[in-house]
Amino acid sequence: MYKKRMLILIKIIHSIVWLFFNGVLIYLFYAGITNRIDGWVWAGLGCFVLEGAVLLLFKNYCPLTLVARKYSDSTKDNFDIYLPEWLAKYNKTIYSGLLGIAILLLAYRLASNA
Query: pLDDT tens for residues 32-87?
Result: 999 999 999 999 999 999 999 999 999 999 999 999 999 999 999 999 999 999 99
- One-letter amino acid at 39 equals G
- One-letter amino acid at 53 equals A
- What's the predicted TM-score (pTM) here? 0.93
Domain ranges of the chain: 2-113
Positive or negative: CA dihedral 51, 87, 93, 25: negative
